[in-house]
Every structure is written in structure tokens, then in C-alpha cells.
Amino acid sequence: MRNGEPGAGADEPIPNPIVRVLPAGTMQGVAVEAHLDAAAATCFDAVSLRPRHLRAWTTEGPGRSLHRLAARLRELSLGVAELDPVVGWSDPRRWEESALSERILDELEMAATLGAVAVTALVAPGEAWEPGPGTEGLAALCAAAADRGLLVQVEPFGWSALGEVTEAAAAIREIGAPNAGVLVDTWHLDRRGGDAATLEALAVDEILGLQVSDGPAEPVGADLQEDCFVARTWPGDPAGELQPERVLAALVARGWSGPVSVEVFGDGSGDPVGRARRAAEALDAMLVAIGR
């Protein structure tokens, strides 16, 4: 039963809400307006959006602005869970004038204008990560985000120099930023040798969001990046062997709540509403299976 759904008994405790998010990765190649319309049509609570898509969108048509897009989101009763990704913050030794770049600050402004909850911070391929300079850069990013009312969720991933969830959490603890936490992608967690037990080293409030997908137990091919983009499957797919529902169930059992998205990369072909519906069905089946 979803939070606030009619029929809940007066004395029945209402669980903390899971925010259902239709992410940019799943809607890859889909126009911004079509992404929003598909999310609304399939009853998602929120979306994630990419900075580069928004920049392109504002320049491709007359009269487009982020303020108008924010108004459209309100019309559709959609939130923005995250602006994903923000990169280039992890090595201050490469910054000009010892400050965050104008591009990063612009992306934080974009997120604030759209009313986003968070930005997702990645250490992109080829970018350096070392605990000293890296935590300095992360602290600067978190401070700038806090000035704009934003959370920062650090997402470790398989071919990043910052690939371990526990390492990301340790960096966040070191800087002590109250607006920072980790975004856990179950696929990357598995490919780096982790599982639900790995997350027991983190407090539930250190985990700001969850991305889920299934896939083969063993990587497909020698290239982990290609494996990520071509071999992910929907949760519940008979070909899936990673069982991401175990991670979600373990977190919920500890009292966790927050944004959850099914991230299976698309190419923009086909019907956006149909793809969004497939994501919604996979996510809702997981929630039903764990009693949510």
C-alpha cells in the first residue's frame, strides 16, 4: 500500500515513502518533453535529468527556458530527484583560480531553478580521485550546493577512480557535509564485488538514493562499460541473475526510504510511454515483493 492510499487502517503505521523516479538513463535518447510526459502518464513521482540535455533543449527551440520547464513540471505534479551528472570537481589541482568551474556552478543553478532535490556527483573516466585533493573538491562542491539548497549524492561506478561505495561514504564522513550522501547503483555494487551486506557499513541516512537493474551474474565481454550499457536487464527479467530486490529489501528493513529508479539504458527508439511503463512495472513489482 502506498503512503496515503485510501484504505489504510487508522492504527496502521504508514511506511516512509519510496519516491518512484523515471531516470534519464532509462529514457536516453528521448526528448525532454517526451520524458516528462511519459513519466506523468505512468504515474512516476519524479524524474532525473541530465545537464547536457537541458542545455541542448534550451537552445533548440524559441522561448524555451528552465523557468518554463519548472512550470511544466509543476503542471504534471513531477519532482526532479536529481540533476545527473556533475563532474570535474574531484581534482582541485586542475581547477582554474582554485575555484569550481563556471560550468559546475551553472549546473548547480540549473538544478536549483528546476527545484531539484540533489545533484549526482561522479568522478568521470579519466578524472583523478585521491583522498586529500578529492575530499577538498567534494567539500567545495557540497558547500556550493548547500548555498542553493541542494543535496549532493556521490555515485561510485565500475570504471571510475572512485568506484567503491564504502570509499565514497568515508570521504563524505571526512568532510562532514550534512547535505552529502551516496547514490547506490545495485549493478555497479555487484560488479565491484559488493552486495546488500556491503551497505551495512553505511548508516541508512548516508544513502540518498538507489538505482536498480538486473543482469547476468558474469560480465558480458571484457569491457565493463559496454557490459553496463548493453547487458542490463529489467528487475524481474527471467534472464536476470543479480537480484537487486535483495538490496532494496535489506535497506527498507533498516528503515530506509528515498528515491528509487530502474536504470536500464535505452536508445530513444520505440514508444517513450511504453518504455516508462516497463520501468514502472518493474519497479512496482519489486515494491510489492518487499511489502511496499
Note the pLDDT tens digit of each residue in 237-249: 998 999 999 999 9
Domain encompassing residue 192: 18-289
Q: What is the pLDDT of residue 10?
A: 43
Q: What is the pLDDT of residue 239?
A: 86
Number of domains in the chain: 1
Which is more confidently placed, 262 or 63? 262
Residue 111 has pLDDT above 90, yes or no: yes
Considering the chain, what percentage of its residues have pLDDT values greater than 70? 95
Residue 9 has pLDDT above 70, yes or no: no
Reported as a pLDDT band with limits 50, 70 and 90, residue 15 is: low
Residue 7 has pLDDT above 60, yes or no: no
Residue 277: inside a domain: yes
Q: What secondary structure letter does DSSP report for 218?
A: S
Q: What is the pLDDT of residue 162?
A: 97
Give helix 66-75 / helix 102-113 axis angle, nearest 10°. 30
Residue 175: inside a domain: yes
Residue 209: inside a domain: yes
Residue 174: inside a domain: yes
Distance CA 235, CA 264 (A): 9
Reported as a pLDDT band with limits 50, 70 and 90, residue 72 is: very high
Residue 4: inside a domain: no
CATH of residue 244: 3.20.20.150
Residue 6: inside a domain: no
Residue 8: inside a domain: no
